[in-house]
Chain A
């Protein structure tokens, strides 16, 4: 029964239909919407977990289900669930739009799930657009701001440009190899990878994913969109969306067979530019979400280091890093969402006195931020360690030293966040933050995962390695 392979996606589709039904309700009821979403996405995680071991192909070989794709589907489902967990007070979005908000989150996740399994160029393109268009709608959904519309338009424009470049690149790839099947391209492309058309085609194709991942020079949208979108939407863009981008980027880079020096050089350059630019500009940011946007640009650079190693260990480390990034960023956004209760933007200065308002949130913020800076014993350090180890193995020692210098620079602004939370005293004493029990549980789980996976990465690493093996088959 081949349809079993498609269960996580089918489930997502059903979820979308359910939210569509909710959106037609006569009277808005945010509480009901939230609980339904929480339950449905939790079941989604279970479904994704249950289907991790599935393997096979669908739709005339255009769709491959393997450990690689299933691990990422699980991560996406988990990311969606965690983002929905943050939606207890969805005050950034008008109440009557709540069902639509969940609906588009779900379709976006569906698009990304399709994306990580697609092994045919047109399927990849369609899946990518499905997820992008959902986000184009989600970004301007914010209540009463002007900036959200600006952000939405910016996102759409940059996204459309990246899509166009990508389509153009796909046409070159098709021209060079006369096929749209990734498996065929993997066989044919290394033979012609030294021709300009093949390189250009591959690079232009990658542009579409660079846009998703906010790699330099496709990073312009990130700060404005991060700041302009509702906090929960930003959380989603910063986590699940990035994870999917990493996955598909790996699949496309794996196409080259790891023999093209030119491609590697381009990726090295982009990686260095992303890291340096992201870290330097982040230093002067005053808004927490903008800061996280620039930090995400620099993290895109770190992930690229793992991907450009083009070895199994490299891909495994990038997968590990993607997971680490998902968890750390979600922890940061948990704090952003909880501290900015009214759904507004969060200035870093507004974190002042957080250690007294809520010691638990202050602690998770400190851990997450130090994790992003790559300080042990957090999962962020272990991710960096693995990525760098893979790069040094391929002889990119200089790149690793540069990346470490960058990590040191980034430490400066991460410390400023910690300083705001632990040191600065607010002008007037704000009320203690009420942290509900479910949030407490979520926080403790996130902290535990960050530390335990950071100190004992054995099992997770094995999964990542197996997934990377499946990718290279």
Chain B
């Protein structure tokens, strides 16, 4: 059995802390709700700390795969328990850690079936972490599915607005995606003939013929693309976001959708670079459609959560456009956008969640003038909305800038359309802000309390992350760069 460990197995520890949380929570009696929450908080705190450690300890000069943990798992099939991080997965780990921690804090007021909620959340997050760190196709797929199926109970039990419909639609769509991914993985496994699921072994040049790459890439792009909200397979996403409870929306829009984009990157682009270049035109087209479509449909929504849902489609389109440029800038921008959008959407859903819990409505016309009643709670939403528009000094500005520069060079027309759509989305975000938070004060809500410090804590963390990475983008870009540059340079001419 070949074992490769570089010091303390941080990555396994991250997974383990999620699974340990799950087990511990399962053994707490139903009535001890506060205990469940504290246990969740402690474990998510540990997880976040571990993520921060990994992020800080990653050697940016060295680049490549670090924190490698590799054990031969199933000999006859060539399956390895193989975890590692590179410049692409590192920001995602950090994002997941942040969103998990703030998500747990956001759900502090939950009263119904608390134990099951947090147990399922930790299962979901373990799957997400697993995907981001797996370098073995078998494990990647296992974790991928593990992160999907808890969504059904999470939305259907604790959700709102057409929750059962939303939950079923989401689950079926996403698992239909894995119906394409698994055959794709098996196809590559068989065609390589190396009897291994190790991504590093399969990504060597010359393992697959151009035709095989084109075919497999299409399977992966469609399969993972569904989760990434690629137009026209995005329809599950606004419905799902709206139906889901706050923390699940945060994790879902903030992290799970990134899982799709990351899957395209890690499996599709790493293993089938030829296919990537071949289908880049299509990717750019669909991404642009998504950006424009999301912006315009978002304009017509009256439900706050639908607005965020469609803006997510639009923003994930920017990620897709970045990936489609096949340039270093585009890759940097796409990964940065994945991170920035994750934090920003988490903040949006978190603020809407607070407002909804108090006012019991998320319809924009009914709200009105909220900033006079809850200035702080409104402030969080407004910051996130500004980040969504791409205002400088906030994280997503840099991401969108990079993607648009790159895409304008490669696809001038589509790039121009995307930038125009950005103006539209700015318009609709500002309109939402104006209608919801300014204007006539609605007396119905005058008695409501503003967000307290304790409850506002998760939003504060998210805001500070957005501002931090907006002011020091190199904190993130230096890391992403270590993976993007070798990837692009390694492409066959």
- Residue positions of A touching B, CB distance < 8 A: 355, 370, 375-377, 381, 385-386, 388-389, 392-393, 397, 400-401, 404-405, 407-408, 411-412, 415, 418-419, 422-423, 455-458, 461-462, 465
A401 partner residues in chain B, CB cutoff 8 A:
179-180, 183
Does residue B62 face the partner (Cβ distance < 8 Å to A)?
no
Number of A-B contacts (CB under 8 A): 83
Interface string of B173-196 (1 = CB under 8 A from A): 001101110110011011000000
* A381-B142, A385-B138, A389-B186 as given contacts; A423 in contact with B156, CB under 8 Å: yes
Tell me the count of chain B residues lying within 8 A, CB to CB, of chain A.
Answer: 31
Does residue B145 face the partner (Cβ distance < 8 Å to A)?
yes
Contact A388 B171 (CB under 8 A): no
A461 partner residues in chain B, CB cutoff 8 A:
74, 76-77
Contact B145 A381 (CB under 8 A): yes
Contact B149 A375 (CB under 8 A): yes
Contact B186 A376 (CB under 8 A): no
Contact B142 A376 (CB under 8 A): yes
Contact A411 B183 (CB under 8 A): no
Report the Cα distance A328→B187, complex, angstroms: 28
Contact B146 A376 (CB under 8 A): yes
Report the Cα distance A412→B183, complex, angstroms: 20
The 3 closest A-B pairs by CB, nearest first: A404-B179, A376-B142, A392-B186
Cβ-defined partner of A389 (8 Å) among B73, B145, B179, B190: B190
B156 partner residues in chain A, CB cutoff 8 A:
419, 422-423
* A377-B142, A381-B142, A392-B186 as given contacts; A408 in contact with B157, CB under 8 Å: no
Contact A392 B146 (CB under 8 A): no
Report the Cα distance A405→B223, complex, angstroms: 12
Contact B75 A458 (CB under 8 A): yes
B145 partner residues in chain A, CB cutoff 8 A:
375-376, 381
Contact A422 B157 (CB under 8 A): yes
Q: List 24 A-B contacts (CB under 8 A).
A: A377-B142, A381-B145, A388-B183, A388-B186, A392-B189, A397-B187, A400-B183, A401-B180, A404-B180, A407-B175, A408-B176, A408-B179, A411-B172, A411-B175, A415-B171, A418-B152, A418-B153, A419-B156, A423-B156, A423-B164, A458-B74, A458-B76, A461-B76, A465-B76
* A375-B149, A377-B146, A381-B145 as given contacts; A462 in contact with B76, CB under 8 Å: yes
Does residue B363 face the partner (Cβ distance < 8 Å to A)?
no
A400 partner residues in chain B, CB cutoff 8 A:
182-183, 186
A423 partner residues in chain B, CB cutoff 8 A:
153, 156-157, 164
Report the Cα distance A386→B146, complex, angstroms: 18
Report the Cα distance A419→B187, complex, angstroms: 34
Closest residue of B by beta carbon distance from A388: B186
Contact A422 B153 (CB under 8 A): yes
A408 partner residues in chain B, CB cutoff 8 A:
172, 175-176, 179
B116 partner residues in chain A, CB cutoff 8 A:
355
Q: A377-B142, A461-B76 are in contact. List 16 more A-B contacts (CB 8 A).
A: A375-B145, A376-B141, A381-B145, A388-B183, A388-B186, A392-B190, A400-B183, A404-B182, A408-B175, A415-B152, A422-B156, A423-B164, A456-B73, A456-B74, A457-B74, A458-B73
B149 partner residues in chain A, CB cutoff 8 A:
370, 375
- Min CB–CB distance A351 → chain B (angstroms): 14
A404 partner residues in chain B, CB cutoff 8 A:
178-180, 182-183
Report the Cα distance A422→B113, complex, angstroms: 11
- Which of B138, B157, B178, B186 has the largest count of A CB atoms less than 10 A from its CB? B186
B175 partner residues in chain A, CB cutoff 8 A:
375, 407-408, 411
Does residue B13 face the partner (Cβ distance < 8 Å to A)?
no
Does residue B42 face the partner (Cβ distance < 8 Å to A)?
no
- Residue positions of B touching A, CB distance < 8 A: 73-77, 116, 138, 141-142, 145-146, 149, 152-153, 156-157, 164, 168, 171-172, 175-176, 178-180, 182-183, 186-187, 189-190
Contact B157 A412 (CB under 8 A): no
Report the Cα distance A377→B146, complex, angstroms: 7
* A376-B145, A419-B164, A461-B74 as given contacts; A405 in contact with B176, CB under 8 Å: yes
Report the Cα distance A381→B190, complex, angstroms: 19
Closest residue of B by beta carbon distance from A459: B74
Closest residue of B by beta carbon distance from A464: B76
Report the Cα distance A425→B138, complex, angstroms: 38
Contact A397 B183 (CB under 8 A): yes
Report the Cα distance A218→B189, complex, angstroms: 35
Closest residue of A by beta carbon distance from B72: A458
A407 partner residues in chain B, CB cutoff 8 A:
175, 179
- Which of A376, A389, A458, A465 has the largest count of B CB atoms less than 10 A from its CB? A376
Closest residue of A by beta carbon distance from B182: A404
A422 partner residues in chain B, CB cutoff 8 A:
153, 156-157
- Which of A381, A415, A418 has the largest count of B CB atoms less than 10 A from its CB? A415
Contact A405 B189 (CB under 8 A): no
Report the Cα distance A422→B164, complex, angstroms: 12
Report the Cα distance A407→B175, complex, angstroms: 9
Report the Cα distance A408→B171, complex, angstroms: 9
Report the Cα distance A193→B171, complex, angstroms: 46
Closest residue of A by beta carbon distance from B191: A392
- Min CB–CB distance A442 → chain B (angstroms): 18
Closest residue of A by beta carbon distance from B152: A415
B168 partner residues in chain A, CB cutoff 8 A:
412, 415
- Min CB–CB distance A186 → chain B (angstroms): 25
- Min CB–CB distance B227 → chain A (angstroms): 14
Closest residue of A by beta carbon distance from B141: A376
Report the Cα distance A423→B138, complex, angstroms: 32
Report the Cα distance A220→B472, complex, angstroms: 68
Closest residue of B by beta carbon distance from A457: B74
Report the Cα distance A404→B219, complex, angstroms: 13
Closest residue of B by beta carbon distance from A454: B142
Report the Cα distance A457→B73, complex, angstroms: 9
- Min CB–CB distance A222 → chain B (angstroms): 25
B152 partner residues in chain A, CB cutoff 8 A:
415, 418
B75 partner residues in chain A, CB cutoff 8 A:
458
- Min CB–CB distance B125 → chain A (angstroms): 15
Report the Cα distance A399→B162, complex, angstroms: 35
A389 partner residues in chain B, CB cutoff 8 A:
77, 186, 189-190
B190 partner residues in chain A, CB cutoff 8 A:
389, 392-393
Cβ-defined partner of A412 (8 Å) among B77, B141, B172: B172
- Min CB–CB distance A103 → chain B (angstroms): 41
A386 partner residues in chain B, CB cutoff 8 A:
77
- Min CB–CB distance B225 → chain A (angstroms): 16
Closest residue of B by beta carbon distance from A400: B183
A385 partner residues in chain B, CB cutoff 8 A:
138, 182
Closest residue of A by beta carbon distance from B215: A397
- Min CB–CB distance B199 → chain A (angstroms): 17
Report the Cα distance A452→B281, complex, angstroms: 44
A465 partner residues in chain B, CB cutoff 8 A:
76
Cβ-defined partner of B171 (8 Å) among A355, A405, A411: A411
B178 partner residues in chain A, CB cutoff 8 A:
404
Closest residue of B by beta carbon distance from A392: B186
Contact A392 B77 (CB under 8 A): no
B73 partner residues in chain A, CB cutoff 8 A:
456, 458
B171 partner residues in chain A, CB cutoff 8 A:
411, 415
A455 partner residues in chain B, CB cutoff 8 A:
142
B164 partner residues in chain A, CB cutoff 8 A:
419, 423
Report the Cα distance A355→B119, complex, angstroms: 14
Report the Cα distance A289→B298, complex, angstroms: 46
Report the Cα distance A170→B337, complex, angstroms: 67
- Min CB–CB distance B134 → chain A (angstroms): 12
Report the Cα distance A461→B138, complex, angstroms: 15
- Which of B74, B116, B171, B172 has the largest count of A CB atoms less than 10 A from its CB? B74
